Amino acid sequence: MKECPECHALYEDVVSFCTKDGTRLQPVETKPEMPPQPLRQDAPKPPAKKNHNIWKTVLIVLGVVAVVLFAVFNHLRNAATYLRTEPALVTAPKAGGDCIIDIDYDGYMWSINHKPDWVKVDEMEKNFTLTVTPNKTGRPREGSITVQSGKLLAQVVIRQNGVATSIQASEKQFHFDKDGGEGSVRIITDGDDWQATGPDWLGIRKSGSDQLSIRCPDNDGDYRTGSVVVTEDNVRYTIDVIQSGYCNACHGNGEVDCIMCGGLGGSYYGLIYSQCFGCGGHGKVRCSYCGGSGYRE
């Protein structure tokens, strides 16, 4: 390439003078390109940028947040000026049970820091449910639950009986016909280990913690009665059971021996025979238990 020194126009090498102003063209000097230099394997790498200042800032911020949170938590935990529980005394039966304990305080937080191992607790916002498990020791026991809010403490005393003190049933009597049947009765007690016994002709089965099933078979014999006795510790309850059948006085005949003549129909006074006026000389009278039907309902 050639260049005009006056107007700096560029021309091919075959042209000698500028076509604009006639000035002799001069060759254009070009700098030889340097070949790329290979990167040395042992050349030191540029140092990484240090981020110590960033981590230092992060740690400072986290520390400040932790201090603030601790201060807030400590304030909430110790804000209460009074603390009470209602009720403060719970008396539980041998079978145990549930009770709701209300927390009366002017703070923000409370917790339970002690309870007996035979008591379960379900905490809520302003109260907790206390569940006393059945007492299998055979003797009364006592314990306490400690509620804490900050430096304040309140206690709930728990006393539990070791024996049953009452037992009842939803039915006092069962009356079955001669074909038998089955009945169910609910046992109401403050214990948890009651037992039931009865005569051999009755089938007795305990179902669950408070249900008793009584099964009576067919009766081809006399009218009969029996008792189912429910007991636990020193208390008991009796359920009467009656089943229809033949009169157990006349055994289905409807008549019994006259008690005035002993069934003879009369008596002798020396050689004189006197007819019994009680039975009219028959020796039998109508059974007073069944009314002469020979059957008792």
The 8 Å CB, 24+ separation contacts for 274-283 are 282/258, 283/257, 283/258
Alpha carbon distance 147, 143 (integer Å): 14
For β-strands 152-160 and 89-92, DSSP reports them as: parallel
First to last CA, the chain: 143
CA dihedral 247, 249, 254, 256 (to 10 degrees): 180
pLDDT band for position 64 (50/70/90)? confident
Query: Are domains 83-160 and 167-246 of this chain identical in fold?
Result: yes
Please give the residue that has the higher pLDDT: either 44 or 68.
Answer: 68
Average predicted confidence (pLDDT) for the chain: 86
Q: Which long-range contacts (CB under 8 A, 24 or more apart) does 2-9 make?
A: 2/26, 2/27, 2/28, 3/27, 3/28
Judged against a pLDDT cut of 80, whether residue 80 lies above it is answered with: no
Residue 235, SS3 per DSSP: strand
Per the DSSP assignment, residues forming a β-bridge with 11 are 2
Q: Residue 58 pLDDT > 90, yes or no?
A: no
The predicted pLDDT at position 273 comes to 80
Res 241: pLDDT: 97
Average pLDDT rounded to a whole number, residues 262-289: 85
Taking domain 167-246, whether its CATH number is 3.40.50.300 is answered by: no
Q: Is 52 or 230 the better-scoring residue by pLDDT?
A: 230
Give residue 17's Cα distance to chain centre.
Answer: 112
Of the candidate ranges 53-67, 94-108, 134-148, 277-291, the one whose mean pLDDT is the lowest: 53-67
Q: What mean pLDDT is predicted for residues 255-267?
A: 87
Looking at per-residue pLDDT, the higher value among 7 and 227 belongs to 227
Average pLDDT over residues 247-262: 90
Lowest mean pLDDT, pick from 7-16, 29-38, 91-100? 29-38
pLDDT number for residue 42: 56
What pLDDT sits at residue 14?
Answer: 64
Of 80-84, 128-132, 158-162, 175-179, which gets the smallest average pLDDT? Answer: 80-84
Does 49 score more than 60 pLDDT? no
Is residue 212 scored above 60 in pLDDT?
yes
CATH placement of domain 83-160: 2.60.40.10
Q: Whole-model pTM?
A: 0.63
User: To the nearest 10°, the Cα dihedral for 79, 82, 86, 90?
Assistant: 100
Residue 237 to residue 249: CA distance in whole angstroms: 29
CA angle 92, 164, 196 (to 5 degrees): 140
Q: Pick 25 or 101 by higher pLDDT.
A: 101
Q: Domain limits of the chain?
A: 1-28, 83-160, 167-246, 255-296
CA distance 252 to 173: 25
Cis omega (within 30 of 0) for bond into 87: yes
Alpha-carbon gap, residue 178 to 220, rounded angstroms: 7
Strands 173-176 and 141-149: unpaired
Q: How far is CA 269 from CA 273, 274, 275, 278, in A?
A: 6, 7, 11, 17
Confidence of residue 169 (pLDDT cuts 50, 70, 90): very high
User: CA torsion, points 252, 255, 256, 261, in degrees to nearest 10?
Assistant: -160
